[in-house]
Chains A and B, each alone.
Chain A
Amino acid sequence: MRRGFRIASGLIGLLFVLACLAWSGQKQPVPVSILMPAPYADASTQMVEAFNREHRGSIHLEVIRGPLETESISDLAISSLLLGDTPFDALLMDVTWLPKYAEAGWLEPLDPWFDQAALDQLILGARLGNHHKGQLYRWPLGADVGVLYWRTDLMDSPPSTPEQLSDIAINLVQTKRVTNGYVWQGRQYEGLSCNFVEVLHGFGGQWLNPATGQLELDATSAARAAAWMQSLITTGASPKAVTNYSESESLQAFKAGDAAFMRNWPYAWAELQKPESNVRGNVGIALMVAEPDQSPAATVGSWGLSLLKQSPHREAAVEAIRYLTSEAAQRERFLNQGYTPTSKSLFTDPELIAVSSALPEIAKALDYSVSRPPSPLYAQLSDLLQRQLNGLLTAEPEKTNRTIDTATAASAAAMNSVQTKSDMLLRATGAEA
């Protein structure tokens, strides 16, 4: 009896050792983990499944569903990177984070994997904002620029100058055809900077002069741009509430049919075509307005995938990045979720245009793309601008009737203050913009 027990236990032990050997002999797939904001992660579910089917046994991709808000994603990523042992191999990054992350030494250049030919087939709006100091650190997942939405049932053609936009909006509000004329993003957050950059270029100005490396917010164009944004509120072309609006509030007002114009990103198009939208079929897309002798501009807001320096699975991670950004993936994301593609060729694809008639207009806006200053200190610079600009927009108008001159003087003072504080910050930290 005792002997039988011994043999049995010996056999079980042997089996266990053999099982261990067999298990260790089998090739384990390389795990790749990518952090994305929730909407992008949700939009990639099927693609991830397909990738894992195709790479069974070699790579296992997992997309981590992060928070919804842009800055919360950044906080999460930065926390994990600071601790020095991040669980992520790649990160879906907003265009403004890149210089900061690259300068902090968290990113691995992608130049060995993506050549000039690959870059050349990207549309301008997707090509901008992927490089820092001459190296490629990000590959775009979707193109994104600010555009002007207008109501085809309220006017024949969209306005092209700031003056026209104000006039039409005021007229429509005064004749009670809409309650809100023009809705945009005036809340004290990054969206306000995006709105401002478009208007600033439309008035012939720029935030940072790339040739000299100097900030140019003390120029007359900046004061005039800010004065126009302020005048939208004081003249009633925009409701005062836009000074606390982000994208979702603007979209809600426009979707409800309460506004004649909206500044937003291309994602809003699909939302406006849904059955519950009051403006379905009555929406057009145009470029942001510009002075008659100036070129219109669209702020780049794209997301792209970056490889983290700490990643031990570089080749596998790049394979996943390639797969998620391929033309097939772009097509799928556009057809299913309405995310704008990045390859030039897809913008003329009849199948895609059949789904969204707005695609050619978005392609046009992408050709007028402008970037926000590509500085590692961008977050500080933008914060200074947001504070002053939001202060200007929410200031109580003086009791006496404001003339154009006093309005411009106030905005010039605000812009000069941003310029002075930004220059002080750059000097205090010894940095170049």
Chain B
Amino acid sequence: MTVLLALPALLLMAVVFGWPMLRYAWLSFHADSVLTGLVPIPNGGANWLRLLTDSRFWLDAGQTTRFAIVSVGLELILALAIALLLDQRWRGRSAVRALSLLPWALPTTMMALGWRWIFNTPYGPIEQVAEAAGFGPLNLLSTPAMTWIVTVLADVWKTTPFITLILLAGLQTIPEDLYAAFRLEGGSAFQALRRVTIPLLMPYILLSLLFRMAQAFGVFDLIQVLTGGGPAGSTESLALYAYLNGMRFLDFGYSATVMVGGFLLLTALILLGALLLRMTGALRAMQP
């Protein structure tokens, strides 16, 4: 019965997710480019051999992972703080709750275009302030290290509300009585956060982590518009590299290989994360 009820959802997943994935896996064993007249021709593991020795793929994989971990980590910390604040009772809370969702509601492309002008040298407001303060041009979008920070910043600004929303929903499921009981036992507010809030919020934290990691790993629109992958490819993500190979170079065989390769890496990363969590969980359980 359970299987039967889940069937429509499973079918939908198979059509919109399973089939394209299988199709890409199949395509990754074919040469399909402008040179084959866009006809897929089996070429064994040639694409995969090329991927293994493609320094750019591994560079982008490293950059994408670093981007995903740092921005999602920052988002989680910020979102937890904001969610705790928005969970308190104060005047104007509902207005601020609605407003705090605004960055999430904006289309990424528009937002990225906005950031591109904000960080523009020398006409952007940030450079103008830096110039007036005597810091000279910062060249925010033309130095690899600075540009990387800027992309993380833009992503954090944009997607923190998403995690905030999930955590806020989680906070509202924690009964008030628990805190009352904790206070009665003489626990401080900080202890309440550590002993009550975070453990009960854990499922929500994990859920948002999973969502956001998968999303950040596939980051495309923000980087495409803000930096185009530059300077010198230092902000290029795997999704951008796959897009370049497919749409720009018309090499669909290799583009599919990059995509499937990225998918395998993400799966490995999530499994590794789950394993680490389980291990730390087991460690904690051993402690009295």
Contacts and interface: CB of A to CB of B under 8 A. Distances in A.
Nearest to A388: B232
B144 A394 contact: yes
Contacts of A104: 34, 37-38, 250
A84 to B, nearest CB: 10
A372 interface: no
Most buried by B among A241, A379, A388: A241
Given A188-B231, A241-B121, A376 B248 contact: no
A39 B142 CA distance: 28
B34 A187 contact: no
B80 to A, nearest CB: 34
B244 interface: yes
A394 B34 contact: no
B244 A383 contact: yes
Interface in A170-205: 179, 186-189
A230 interface: no
B230 interface: yes
Contacts of B248: 71, 74, 379, 383
Contact of A103 (B35, B50, B230, B244): B35
A387 interface: yes
Interface residues of A, number: 42
Contact of B143 (A188, A388, A394, A431): A394
A188 B35 contact: no
A430 to B, nearest CB: 7
Interface residues of B, number: 29
B135 to A, nearest CB: 14
A377 B249 contact: yes
Nearest to A99: B34
A423 interface: no
Given A383-B244, A390-B231, A252 B123 contact: yes
B170 interface: no
A79 B248 CA distance: 11
B38 to A, nearest CB: 6
A239 B120 CA distance: 13
A24 interface: no
B33 interface: yes
A72 B35 CA distance: 23
B222 interface: no
Nearest to B144: A394
Contact of B50 (A82, A394, A428): A428
Q: In terms of DSSP, what is the predominant structure of the interface of chain A? A: helix
Contacts of B139: 240-241, 243-244
B73 interface: no
B122 interface: yes
Contacts of B244: 383
Given A103-B34, A240-B137, A391-B231, A78 B247 contact: yes
Contacts of A379: 248-250
A241 B122 contact: yes
B108 to A, nearest CB: 15
A10 interface: no
Interface in B211-248: 227-233, 244, 247-248
Interface in A47-99: 71, 74-75, 78-79, 82
Most buried by A among B137, B227, B230: B230
Most buried by B among A380, A388, A430: A380
B141 interface: yes
Contacts of A239: 121-122, 137
Nearest to B140: A244
Most buried by A among B34, B120, B233: B34
A249 interface: yes
A314 interface: no
A429 interface: yes
A179 B122 CA distance: 10
A74 B229 CA distance: 18
B35 A430 contact: yes
A241 B38 contact: no
A376 B251 CA distance: 11
29 contacts: A71-B248, A78-B247, A82-B38, A100-B34, A103-B34, A104-B37, A104-B250, A179-B122, A187-B230, A188-B227, A239-B121, A241-B142, A244-B230, A249-B120, A258-B122, A377-B35, A379-B248, A379-B249, A379-B250, A380-B251, A383-B249, A387-B232, A390-B232, A391-B231, A391-B232, A393-B231, A394-B143, A394-B144, A430-B35
Given A100-B34, A188-B230, A383-B248, 18 more contacts: A78-B250, A82-B38, A103-B37, A243-B231, A244-B139, A244-B142, A244-B227, A252-B123, A377-B35, A377-B249, A380-B251, A386-B230, A387-B232, A390-B230, A390-B231, A394-B232, A396-B143, A429-B251
Sort A-B residue pairs by CB-CB distance and give the 6 closest, nearest first: A188-B230, A391-B232, A241-B121, A243-B142, A244-B141, A394-B231
